[in-house]
Amino acid sequence: RKEVEQDPGPFNVPEGATVAFNCTYSNSASQSFFWYRQDCRKEPKLLMSVYSSGNEDGRFTAQLNRASQYISLLIRDSKLSDSATYLCVVGYNNNDMRFGAGTRLTVKP
Amino acid sequence: EPEVTQTPSHQVTQMGQEVILRCVPISNHLYFYWYRQILGQKVEFLVSFYNNEISEKSEIFDDQFSVERPDGSNFTLKIRSTKLEDSAMYFCATQGPTRGRGEQYFGPGTRLTVT
């Protein structure tokens, strides 16, 4: 079983749509959770950390369910600039991170 | 805004040659990481480094790989005898002075091509 699994995608949505990404992780000892975005041939960039209580940053909302070992990211009112690959990332005790394979999002006019 | 830098941006080398990839972390960061991403595949953890020693390494990080912080600023990844399958993007990432939930910041990467 993969350590971090994500929706395979790709997701193709119109501008203004709401889109949700899901992620599951296998190691119950995981301690930190993040969503990164990666543009084509660029480095991953932190989008947001994910907290147990859930957190929101503008149009982005992240949720964590430790019991189900499940993380989600919701993007509302999607923009063309949201087109990227979204990486679910899980950290362990010493902050070593394990990346999901990513879900590609394309927002179309 | 402080950023992680990496050099070179692209390195082409012949199989069997040694390469050194360099990273300059954000100045007050204490935790350093190398990742690789083979084209079209996911980002893979290689090694983490703190207090001048390796704290964790993956199964990918075999005897051909080594890391060091030679002068207190640069953080390097050395591949002793490159193989074709080492061709990938190599990302350095650094993390701030507090351990725990700290986010990692990635450099722009070095594209390594082994021919």
- CA A31 to CA A2: how far, in whole Å? 17
The minimum CA-CA distance between A38 and chain B, rounded to whole Å, is 10
The minimum CA-CA distance between A23 and chain B, rounded to whole Å, is 14
Say if A86 is an interface residue toward chain B (CB within 8 Å).
no
- CA B93 to CA B53: how far, in whole Å? 16
Q: The tokens 């909302």 sit on which residue?
A: A61
Say if A69 is an interface residue toward chain B (CB within 8 Å).
no
| B101 has pLDDT over 70 | no
Residue A37 has a pLDDT of: 96
| A94 has pLDDT over 60 | no
Give the confidence band of B99 by pLDDT, cuts at 50, 70, 90. low
**DSSP sequence for chain A:** --SEEE----EEEETT--EEEEEEES-TT--EEEEEEE-TTS-EEEEEE--TT-EEETTEEEEEETTTTEEEEEE-S--GGG-EEEEEEEE-TT--EEE---EEEEEE-
**B56 contacts in A (CB within 8 Å)?**
94, 96
- CA B55 to CA B62: how far, in whole Å? 15
Give the confidence band of B47 by pLDDT, cuts at 50, 70, 90. very high
**A42 contacts in B (CB within 8 Å)?**
108-109
Q: Flag if B48 and A96 touch (Cβ within 8 Å).
A: yes
Interface test with B, best of A6, A43, A97 (most B CBs within 10 A): A43
| B2 has pLDDT over 80 | no
- CA B57 to CA B86: how far, in whole Å? 16
Q: Flag if A49 and B100 touch (Cβ within 8 Å).
A: no
- CA B68 to CA B17: how far, in whole Å? 19
Query: pLDDT tens digits for A36-90?
Result: 999 998 999 999 999 888 899 999 999 999 999 999 999 999 999 999 999 999 9
